[in-house]
Structure 1
Amino acid sequence: MEEEGQETAEFIAALGPKTAIAPSTPDDEKVESANRKKGALYMISDASGSMKLSVVAPSSPFKQAMLSPEECYILDNGGDKNIFVWKGPRANMSERKAAMSAGQKFIKEKNYSSKCRLQVLPAGAETILFKQFFIDWKDKDETTGPSQAHVIGRIAKVEQVPFDASSLHTNKAMAAQHGMVDDGKGKFEIWRVENGELVPVDSASYGHFYGGDCYLILYKYKTGQIIYTWQGLKATQDELAASAFLTVKLDDSMGGSPVQVRVTQGQEPPHLMSLFQGRPMIIHLGGTSRKGGQTQSGNTRLFHIRQSTSHMTRAVEVEVCASKLNTNDAFVLKSPSGVFVWRGVGASDDEMEAAKHVVGFLGGSATHVAEGKEPAAFWSSLNGKKAYQDCKTLQNVIRAPRLFGCSNKSGRLIIEEVPGDFTQSDLATDDVMILDTWGQLFLWIGKEANAQERTGAPKLAREYLDSDPTGRKGLPITTIKQGAEPPIFTGWFHAWDTKMWETDPYDRIRARF
């Protein structure tokens, strides 16, 4: 135990402080800093007899020669969407098998959010996003390396690359940002973790996931394989551990060639959702899909359907309550009174198409209900009419909302953006968060946020608005406290869970490692 404690201490020491962007630097320095790709490169080695982590380069860009084929490495891009673990082709077996656990320990010690996705990459299967951190990367038979990623300096100017499946093979920037290795039309298999073993999922149930289960999805395409390890929020600790072990076992059976991607419920990457070819991912509220262990479904069920910024749709089962409705989305309600498809004013045609798949699963003939024209039976099935998110701002969303965290864990107050599609789990209870919906700006105060964060965040939020070149100076800032969120705030989150903080979400996330 003493040796293990010493090894952990050495591991933590090697990590150094969490990479952060300070908002208070002069404009020129801010632009220069943000245009430089953030990150650090670490080597995993057991040369001394115990697994250790050492810094290879404290910041990018890196050179391809830094990656020895006899070692494994962790590439940290500053707490953004991905932490990469690269496995050298001649690394010894213990190093290769420890790669996944080393990456998980790294995320835990860095205190990165649930949004951070771990990807394990064998040599020869590097993704475009990984290669962008190397100024001289060349694949076999390639004469020129990949171009540098373009990053806008000021946080008010961050550009999102729109998703367009038709340009997957020609638009490398789009493919990199959305993690799309192809169009999702390859072959795949899905297993459920059960009693420490993999149990094949009936292909008729592909696309259905239960919050009490863990799954492994093996995807094969022309130039490689990916293992997605999907972990439900209600899965037991034994199943979480088993899913990690079985991922390594499956990887070993394929010679260590697949890319491994750990996925937490609600954080599904676009490529994983694309496997179902237009059908939504349907995520059931808790429970399990295992034979003989299913949680009995209630007589009344409600599914919240939303399209992400990458144009993929999820149908997430939520608590049956009228306050869960959202003017920007579609919902499917099944009750003894019948099946209703409710269309909010801002719901898209794609969301309505996804609703058809949910109805097909639930069975029965659906009654379509337009917002504002609901029959009495609809409200009765929801236990009465209640206030929900119905503001006009949400109905006419033109630009994707953005979420930022304000924290002084590094010793000074800094602001960092949560990348991509955010979820409720990204609201850190020990921080102050800024939600920018373009027409409104919210300050969310976590219960454990300290005094400096509570007093400093409003000033940062005001500076953010005042510096916005689109001219939003003077926009009102609404302050909201954890546990007292009104519909105008919760409506920006898919499938808001009022019971989320009965257990700190970060405690649940940390328990996964």
Structure 2
Amino acid sequence: MPQPGGVASGFNHVEVNEQDYKTRLYVCHGKHVVHVKEVPFARSSLNHDDIFILDTKSKIFQFSGSNSSIQERAKALEVVQYIKDTFHEGKCEIASVEDGRMMSDAEAGEFWGFFGGFAPLPRRAPAEGNEKQEETAFKLLCFDQGKLEPVNCKSLAHELLETNKCYFLDYGAELYVWMGRITSLQERKGASEAAEKLLSDSSRTRTPMIKVIEGFETVAFKSKFKEWPQTPGLKMSSEDGRGQVAALLKRQGLNVKGLMKAAPAKEEPQSYIDCTGNLQVWRVNDKDKVPLSSSDQSKFYTGDCYIFQYTYPGDDKEECLVGTWFGKKSIEDDKVIAVSLASKMVESAKFQAVQARFYEGKEPIQFFVIFQSLQVFKGGISSGYKRFIAEIGIDDESYSEDGLALFRIQGSGPENMQTIQVEPVASSLNSSYCYILHDGNTVFTWAGNLTTALDQELMERLLDVIKIWKLVQSPAGNIFDITNHQSVSAKKKASQISLHSKL
């Protein structure tokens, strides 16, 4: 992200902190490739088609235009996090404002206050020249029975991809290899060899090859298509929707008799991964991998990298998934070693295993279901991470059971639960989540006023999962339940967090 100014050197003198923090406005714009640039801080810069990021001294606002695309929103999240970490040292609030939200919303009112108050934005017709300029040439090739055949299409649609074939999506600067779910191992190997041969052409610049398995498509790959359904191949009738509502009400203890009409039992669609298989997890340490015990397999640190192998019964043989998980603060050396070790594991399995990479905060639902109860702690315990923070001189914030820690609870059920450690400050609290706070032998559970009975049930389950029960069972231990509208003096003593009913 280009910024005015420079770095102090013998040729350039830079004055630091001479002025107050300057409020800036950025725009995220683009149909396929999203570009970010700074625009004048004025109401005239805003529109309904893009995402805007307002960077103020104490808070970052993300304004999402009503006509903005999913790839623009995804890029904006990365930019907001970058601004927070780079220019605010990770110590500022983030607010999301949707286009059309009136002044009755506190965050929207604060956002529009920087522009002199709320006023409707004028709608403008899209310029034909800009649309043509954004269109990027692409080629869609079908790999079937060892031959590459071009697919004639003016725009990309999900219906063009058949689950029993492999496809190449060539954008010039990047080549995607999409493999259908029911393609054989030989077909996938053939597609990979054909892609490498295509990239080895001397007339072609160096292009990265990205392999994508059906059901595990990345956001970048989906953004190339005009539309991408959330559940491919499944059509839901009104009766199915009514059944889902009935199941939800029944789980909350309500009587749903008569809500649904009697219907023959339907066979549920099979999940992409059988979640009753065997899981092995290793943590990357120096140039080797350290196996984790069964009790620690779901405990990850944001400063470390992990490798896991998951085997489960398939239709006619045992399937195997070898994955790598990269924490947000993991070092580059550990990432390279993790990829190398995982590739060797796939090679030793005679390439019968599927290899995948997962990044913290961008994991698919299948990843969470495999681990079922995932805990992500701050800091890291690998030797490389410890050396890194010692070299740059920052404090070690790695989690300790005896120290102060705040956890956000999230998930959709007992088979999909996550415990994420966050900063123990009031700005980390959100009314849509439940939290667990512990300091020494004192434990607090905090439930936001927008949480459901299921959220609070998960919080009770995870009290034991993260081993806080050791603290609770201590003779001097205490546990407090705090609602969204209470402020407890003991909590201030434990964590310096003050609760306000407006959260």
TM range (shorter): 0.3 to 0.5
Q: Given the two structures, how large is their TM-score scaled by the length of structure 2?
A: 0.47
Name which one, 1 or 2, has greater alpha-carbon Rg. 2
More contact order relative to length (CA 8 Å, sep ≥ 6): 1
